[in-house]
Structure 1
Amino acid sequence: MSTKHQSVYNLGSSKPKIADSAWIAPSATIVGAVTVGSQSGIWFNCVLRGDDNTIQIGARSNIQDGSVIHIDPGEFDVVIGDDVTVGHSCLIHGCHLEDRAFVGMASTVMNGCIIEPDGVLGARSLLTSGKRVRSGELWTGSPAKLVRRLSEEEIRNFRKTAQSYVRKGERFRSELNQE
């Protein structure tokens, strides 16, 4: 697969910066002030729109199919650290997901939120503006609330997801082709 991405766009002087080792699915759209780190994956039908602020994604993070990442035109950028997992069909808006954070499928994280390292937001959850998921906590629900502390084994298992997506990205970079 070519390293040239069909759906990556400059917006005026704002240009996406994508590491050569990142996997960008052909149907993903990346616009403006977006940085994607090494071995990270932006999967099918994702939209990352850095029009009025910045989106930064660290190394080995995965933004799974159908997710949308956008910023707030005011004070809220998006910072996604290293080894972060954002599940399928999530909405990430004006927030910070620190290293090894995990956002479950179909969840929403709103402006000013922070998910600390090894913090987990469960599937189909709504983390309302300004909330903080602390390291080792599991939050779920709509609106999301603290459910409990994660065990060390659970934290290790959540970390494996990011590692598996690095391998998937490498496979897709080398094997995906169109008939």
Structure 2
Amino acid sequence: MNTTNPHPGANIIPIHGKTPVIHESAFIAPGATIIGDVEIGAGSSIWYNCVVRADVFTIRIGERTNVQDGSILHCDPPRPGDEEGSPLVIGDDVLIGHMAMVHGCTIHDRGFVGLGAIAMNKAVIASDAMLAAGAMLTERKVMGERELWAGRPAKRLKELSDAAIAGMRVGVAHYAENAKHHSEAVAAALG
């Protein structure tokens, strides 16, 4: 893990004695801001103009996960009546679409958050589950494996097909490869 800023144009900001820990193979795009008690795993990518703000509690992002342009990630601290708080925990091979808001929830390996979707404190997105574009997963709602949820508030629509699951895995591979190209392009442009 690397605690320096090898990501030209990105804002890596320590706060309250906590410095983001970003694996050297992760891509952090210019304009992205990573603050505080954040850990980002190998091969993950945080795209242009995202904010990952762990100023009050922890954010953990696994390997090969991508957080697409303009998304906002935050958490809530422990407090009276909520001693465990709401850390944000994101597993491996997760897809988070453009302009999503992900706050104090858990997304298991291979979970998917669609464009502009919202996932709130203590909600859970299970492995191979999809929160549809524009959906709002309200506090403490738990999605099962391979489920598609949509709407505001989000409700279960159906079980995902094998083809849909395969499509999500293709998306993960695409973003991992595309991040390498962007990393090279940024290095060349900003040196």
Question: One-letter code of the match for 2:75?
Answer: I
Equivalent residues in 2 for 1:132-147, closer than 5 Å: 132-147=142-157
Question: Which one of 44, 51, 57 corresponds to residue 48 of structure 2?
Answer: 44
Provide the C-alpha distance between the structure 1 equivalents of 2:100 and 2:178, rounded to a whole number of angstroms.
19
More displaced, 138-147 or 155-164? 155-164
**4+ runs of 1 displaced by more than 3 Å?**
none
Does the residue aligned with 1:133 lie in a helix, a strand or coil? Answer: coil
Report the equivalent of 1:157. Answer: 167
TM-score, normalization: structure 2? 0.90
Q: Percent identity?
A: 40
Instruction: Give aligned pairs, total.
Output: 178
Structure 2 unaligned regions, length at least 5? 79-84
**Structure 1 residues 31, 82: CA separation in 2 closer, same or farther (over 3 Å shift)?**
same
Answer yes or no: is the 8 Å Cα contact 2:32–2:51 preserved in 1: yes
Matched, 1:3 2:6: yes
Report the equivalent of 2:126. Answer: 116
Matched, 1:130 2:140: yes
Question: One-letter code of the match for 2:21?
Answer: K
Matched, 1:94 2:97: no
Question: Which one of 3, 15, 30 corresponds to residue 26 of structure 1?
Answer: 30
Q: CA deviation at 1:168?
A: 0.7
Question: One-letter code of the match for 2:58?
Answer: T
**Structure 1 residues 144, 27: CA separation in 2 closer, same or farther (over 3 Å shift)?**
same
Structure 1 unaligned regions, length at least 5? none
Does the residue aligned with 1:20 lie in a helix, a strand or coil? Answer: coil
TM-score, normalization: structure 1? 0.96
Does the residue aligned with 1:32 lie in a helix, a strand or coil? Answer: strand
Report the equivalent of 2:81. Answer: none
Q: CA deviation at 1:178?
A: 3.1
Provide the C-alpha distance between the structure 2 equivalents of 1:39 and 1:12, rounded to a whole number of angstroms.
27
Provide the C-alpha distance between the structure 2 equivalents of 1:168 and 1:64, rounded to a whole number of angstroms.
12
Matched, 1:178 2:189: yes
- Cα deviation, 1:133-157, whole Å, max 9, x if unaligned, reads 1110000001100000111111111
Does the residue aligned with 2:179 lie in a helix, a strand or coil? Answer: helix
Does the residue aligned with 1:132 lie in a helix, a strand or coil? Answer: coil
Matched, 1:78 2:88: yes
More displaced, 87-96 or 148-157? 148-157
Equivalent residues in 2 for 1:53-72, closer than 5 Å: 53-72=57-76
Q: CA deviation at 1:4?
A: 4.2
